[in-house]
Every structure is written in C-alpha cells, then in structure tokens.
Structure 1
Amino acid sequence: MTTQTPMDRALVEEAAKKSALIWVQGTEGAPRALWHVWHEGAATLVGDGPREQPLQGLGLTDGGTATVTVRSKDKGGRLVSWPARVVELTPGGEAWTAAVEELKGKRLNAPDAERIAERWARECRVLRLEPASGALAEPPTDSLAAAPLPTPAITRRPVPAGLPKLLARGKRARKG
C-alpha cells in the first residue's frame, strides 16, 4: 500500500477545509454529497437523525472504510479522492464534544440551535472520516455522473388552471 506524501496530506486537508460538501462512498450504495467540517485532521459529519442528513444506505460503520471525494468550490470539478477510515464518536465523550462544537457553527437553519447538541447525542451519529494510508485516487477518465437518488420531492407540477387568468389580469393592471 502506498503511503501519502506530505503534499498529498496537505492537498486533502486544504481541499476539505474549503469545500462545504464532500462526496462519500461507503461500502454500500451510491456516493452521496454530505456537509461536513474539517476538524483535527478528519472530515467530521453528523447525520441519521430525523432532521439531519441521511447516512443510512452508505455502509458507514465504526472501523469501516470509505472513499471521500472533494470538489472544487469554484469550478465544481473533482480535486482529490482519498481512502478514509470511519470512526463513530461516542456521544458525550471529549472527542464528540469538540467535534459537535465545530459542527454546530456550520449547521445552517437548525430549528433548535440552542439544544442541538442534546438532540444529536440522542438521535444522530457523529462520524470522523480520517484519511487512511493509501494512494490518492487517479483522475477519472469519464465524468462520473450518476442518476439522482429516488426521492418523493419534485419541482415540476401542472400549472394551476386559474394561473394564466391571474397573470393576464396583472398585466392589464400594470398597463392601466
């Protein structure tokens, strides 16, 4: 197994710090975009709670492995992929508390921001994706595009029957 050079480790850290999302491929399922923070040498994320990002279906288990891909913030293209070791932090532990403090600052629009740590301890998993020894992935030869995951959320619906009349009435009111 090839070990990463100091330049490789610096690339991984800098790319992960600057990107709000990472793509994570666990031992199961398709890669998924997840928000994270870079904390003490690892990508740290929270999920699996009812109001947090879903981690189920990825096969992210304590002591398991994953592949993490970071995209460029400005162009959106892949910068670097690396092998990671999955570490699940124990709620209330020193490492968990430090990680949660970092994650709280990046969690946008939390409905219970003042009690979020309590909810995460009760309902969620906090994971560290630590860069493992091994070579960084080679650049892809194709786009790596994949079909979106199935979801009940939709953005297109039929136009309501009364909408054209409302829009026409608005145009007449502006002209008059």
Structure 2
Amino acid sequence: MERTTTTAADFLDRALLEEAAKKSGLLWVQPAGQPQARALWHAWHDGAVVVVGDGAEQPLHGLTAGSTAAVTVRSKDKWGRLTGWTARVEELPAGGEAWQGAVEELKGKRLNAPDTDTIGERWARECRVLRLVPAGPLTEQPGAMPDGSLAEAPMPTPATTREPIPAGLPRLLFKKRR
C-alpha cells in the first residue's frame, strides 16, 4: 500500500489557497488550451472553488468536466496576485446533494440577482455549476511569483476618455453654502 506524506509546506500551501479563495470575491480562470484567463465570481465550498455560469450568468467558455484550468487569486487587501494553482474541473449534476450545497454557498455571493427567491431553480434549468478542485502544488505564491506583469493588453475599443471638466465646475461644486 502506497502512503503519501503531507509536509508542513503542503499544509501551509493548502491553507493559503483556501484562505485566499474564501476572501477574494473574484478569481481568474484560464482553461487549458485557451489563450486568456477570465474573471469569475465564485464561492469556496467543500474543499474547492465553485462557480455558476452560462445561461444568464457569467460565461464559462472552455471549462468542461474532466479538463484542467489555471486559477489565479488576488489579494483582497492589495488586489495583486496572491496565489495560483492548477484545478481539475468537475461538473455537478443539477439537484444532487453536492449541487445543492454549492448553490447555497453561491446564492450568498450572487450580487443583484433579479430572482433571488427562485435563483436555484433557474440555475438548475439554464446554468452549469462547476467545482474547480485543486490538483497539485501551488504554481504561484508569495516569494515564488512569475517575472513580469502578466497583464493582458486592453481590447481595442472605440470608447474615448471624457473631455476635461469645465474650469468653473469646481467652484460650483465646492463653494461654501451660505
């Protein structure tokens, strides 16, 4: 019988991963074979990140059951990269016990839902609930971060920066009231 040993470093890595995922409201997920990571809102439940998407929710392009994805979590305080890992993607069947638990966690994280009373029913009909299970050691952590910014170039857009404010506007806004 083969026995795996857990070191103190493994325990600390797992604690960092879990705490970062619990505290951050947003993470970046790059499905294997995709050129770009996508920001997803999520919840931490039962040892994994859970996300809901497709339908009227966030798009989950490229995330399929059995595939892998690179997950990056930012620091809630500094907003910079804090940790990253490779995740194994699992799809939860709608209505199952694991699905119910994940949906309960996700309901609390969903902001401005148009149908808070029946959101679980809508998710069962239209959406997929995925678990991103950590698989392997951390790929990024404090003291072992990649070089460079890793920032993506902004998408081309016809939008422009607004014009300078009129010179008299600050006087109107900040004049003392009498």
Shared fold per TM-score greater than 0.5: yes
What is the alpha-carbon distance in structure 1 between the residues aligned to residue 160 and residue 97 of structure 2? 43
Aligned with 1:83 (options 77, 83, 86): 86
| CA 29–123 in structure 1, closer or farther in 2 if over 3 Å, else same | farther
Q: Which amino acid aligns with 1:16?
A: A
CA RMSD in angstroms, aligned pairs only: 2.8
Q: Which amino acid aligns with 1:12?
A: L
Q: Which amino acid aligns with 1:74?
A: D
**Higher helix fraction: Structure 1 or Structure 2?**
1
Q: Which residue of structure 1 lines up, in the alignment, with residue 3 of structure 2?
A: none
Q: Which residue of structure 2 lines up, in the alignment, with residue 101 of structure 1?
A: 104
| CA 126–151 in structure 1, closer or farther in 2 if over 3 Å, else same | farther
Q: Which residue of structure 2 lines up, in the alignment, with residue 45 of structure 1?
A: 51
CA deviation map 1:98-150 (0-9, x unaligned): 10011011101000111101111111111110100234334011011112456
What is the alpha-carbon distance in structure 1 between the residues aligned to residue 138 and residue 126 of structure 2? 35
Percent identity reads 65
Count of aligned residue pairs for this structure pair: 162
Q: Which residue of structure 2 lines up, in the alignment, with residue 29 of structure 1?
A: 35
Query: Which 5+ residue runs of structure 2 have no aligned equivalent?
Result: 1-5
Q: Which residue of structure 1 lines up, in the alignment, with residue 69 of structure 2?
A: 66
| CA 11–129 in structure 1, closer or farther in 2 if over 3 Å, else same | same
TM superposition score normalised by structure 1:
0.80
Q: Which runs of 4+ in 1 moved over 6 A?
A: none
